[in-house]
């Protein structure tokens, strides 16, 4: 088996796939293409630990790729896919043939569509370069406005506040984390942030950014409120980088559509990571932006390329660090969940179990590792629970299971 595998995208998904392919015994050429000039690196620290320590946390050192005979082409942007010839073209004018092509192109920050969004001091957070700008802002104790109350925005807010920066979070929806968290968790996190000095404005719409001398100076809301700021972080979501796939005629619908084995509608092309929409549960297509999902799809792609038995689907899970809260979430929270609270949210140790007539479908936890792990297992097995027993923190988790 000497097929050539080209991987487009040197993020967590692409780099993980390259290593796993060699581990699985793939003997043919493996080439990893990345737009950035840096080796593949850990992205979670960009929002969780950007104020201190080493930002350049490589997934693997260059010696690993050399030892494993994996060719890494940094700064080599692929501009077109020729499906008929099974060849990709890069910006330099070179072209490379493939037997298997894997698209791991990730996502890009959603732009803020208002006047002034191009002013200096306005940043998003996706790359090492972005994190370095934020680090400078924190080091200089600048006033920071964050447009968007998602996980990235709240993580950055927590780090900035812990370093003495004045922070205002502006969220268009009526609560933070409106698309991804339960109303109860939103309420708990809002209170936790406000108690530590984060100013949070909800139901607030940004209409423009104002500046002086080409640099941002304030965020202006639709009611005329001006939030003075020295820097603005835009964190209003991410868009899949599926342009390359769409131009090649692959099926795309808010991301590259793949099956449970990471396969696109072309038998020679797979896709993994944040750029994909994949089936979960009943087959509903979902785009997950998480390291666990990227790693799972990398394993699926390995099985497909190697002709192995497909890997079993995992329960999707995520994590977030905010101040002293180590948050772990398993499953997908429904719009109107039935929620059981276990533990003490005011003490920062709790688990929110969401169920459908006793069948657990999601858990959101903070500093309760046992509840997170049990909840993840309950979701995978379709376990039914007794809500009253589960709410009693003195009752062992196993005693809350309905047999």
Instruction: Give the domain ranges of the chain.
Output: 5-108+238-306, 122-234, 324-400
How sure is the predictor about 317, in pLDDT bands with cuts at 50, 70 and 90? very high
Whether residue 108 has pLDDT greater than 80: yes
Region 61-71: mean pLDDT is 96
pLDDT of residue 312: 82
Distance CA 192, CA 206 (A): 24
Region 290-298: mean pLDDT is 95
CATH number among 3.50.50.60, 3.40.50.300, 1.10.10.10, 3.30.300.30, domain 5-108+238-306: 3.50.50.60
Average pLDDT of the chain, as a whole number:
94
pLDDT of residue 139: 85
How sure is the predictor about 165, in pLDDT bands with cuts at 50, 70 and 90? very high
Question: Helix, strand or coil for residue 99?
Answer: coil
pLDDT of residue 141: 78
Distance CA 241, CA 132 (A): 23
Whether residue 1 has pLDDT greater than 70: no
Distance between start and end Cα atoms, the chain: 49
Q: State what percent of residues in the chain have pLDDT above 90.
A: 88
User: How is 378-397 classified by DSSP, letter by letter?
Assistant: HHHHT-BB-HHHHH-TTS-G
Domain at 122-234: CATH code? 3.50.50.60
Whether residue 376 has pLDDT greater than 90: yes
Give me the torsion for CA of 15, 20, 21, 25, rounded to 10°: 150
Region 115-135: mean pLDDT is 93
Region 14-22: mean pLDDT is 97
Residue range 187-202, pLDDT digits in tens: 999 999 999 999 999 9
Phi, psi angle pair for 257, to nearest 5°: -80, 125
Distance CA 258, CA 160 (A): 38
pLDDT of residue 117: 96
Give the least confident one: 245-249, 330-334, 373-377: 330-334
Residue range 232-289, pLDDT digits in tens: 999 999 999 999 999 999 999 999 999 999 999 999 999 999 999 999 876 789 999 9
Are 87 and 96 within 8 A, CB to CB?
yes
pLDDT of residue 209: 98
- Rounded to the nearest 10 degrees, the angle between the axes of helix 12-23 and helix 291-306 is 40
Question: Helix, strand or coil for residue 91?
Answer: coil
Q: H helices then E strands: how many in the chain? A: 10, 26
pLDDT of residue 393: 93
Whether residue 309 has pLDDT greater than 90: no
Region 70-80: mean pLDDT is 95
pLDDT of residue 22: 96
Region 294-309: mean pLDDT is 95
Asked if the domains 122-234 and 324-400 are classified in one and the same CATH topology, the answer is no
pLDDT of residue 282: 65
Whether residue 171 has pLDDT greater than 80: yes
324-400: CATH topology: Enolase-like; domain 1 (3.30.390)
Are 33 and 6 within 8 A, CB to CB?
yes
């Amino acid at each position: 088996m000497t097929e050539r595998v080209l991987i487009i995208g040197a993020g967590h998904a692409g780099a993980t796939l390259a290593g796993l392919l060699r581990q699985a015994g793939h003997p043919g050429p493996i080439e990893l293409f990345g737009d950035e000039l840096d080796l593949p690196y850990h992205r979670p620290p960009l929002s969780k630990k950007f104020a201190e320590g080493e930002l350049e946390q490589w997934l693997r050192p260059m010696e690993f790729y050399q030892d494993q005979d994996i060719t890494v082409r940094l700064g080599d942007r692929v501009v077109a896919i020729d499906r008929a010839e099974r060849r990709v073209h890069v910006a330099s004018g070179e072209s490379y043939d493939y037997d298997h092509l894997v698209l791991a192109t990730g996502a890009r920050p959603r732009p803020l569509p208002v006047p002034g969004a191009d002013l200096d001091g306005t940043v998003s957070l996706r790359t090492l370069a972005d994190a370095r700008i934020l680090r400078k802002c924190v080091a200089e104790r600048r006033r920071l406005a964050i447009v968007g109350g998602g996980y990235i925005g709240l993580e950055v807010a927590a780090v900035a506040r812990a370093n003495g920066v004045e922070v205002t979070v502006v969220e268009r929806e009526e609560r933070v984390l409106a698309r991804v968290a339960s109303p109860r968790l939103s309420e708990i996190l809002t209170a936790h942030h406000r108690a530590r000095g984060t100013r949070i404005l909800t139901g607030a719409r940004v209409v423009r950014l104002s500046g002086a001398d080409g640099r941002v100076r304030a965020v202006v809301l639709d009611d005329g409120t001006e939030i003075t700021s020295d820097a603005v972080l835009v964190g209003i979501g991410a868009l899949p980088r599926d342009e390359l796939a769409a131009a090649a005629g692959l099926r795309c619908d808010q991301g590259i559509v793949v099956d449970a084995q990471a396969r696109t509608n072309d038998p020679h092309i797979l896709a993994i990571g944040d750029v994909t929409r994949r089936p979960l549960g009943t087959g509903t297509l979902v785009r997950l932006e998480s390291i666990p999902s990227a790693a799972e799809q990398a394993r699926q792609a390995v099985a497909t390329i190697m002709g192995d038995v497909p890997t079993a689907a995992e329960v999707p899970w995520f994590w977030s660090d905010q101040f002293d809260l180590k948050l772990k979430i398993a499953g997908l929270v429904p719009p109107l969940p039935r929620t059981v609270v276990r533990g003490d949210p005011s003490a920062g140790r709790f688990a929110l179990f969401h169920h459908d007539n006793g069948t657990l479908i999601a858990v959101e936890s903070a500093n309760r590792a046992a509840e997170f792990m049990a909840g993840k297992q309950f979701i995978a097995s379709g376990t039914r629970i007794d809500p009253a027993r589960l709410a009693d923190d003195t009752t062992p988790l196993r005693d809350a299971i309905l047999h």
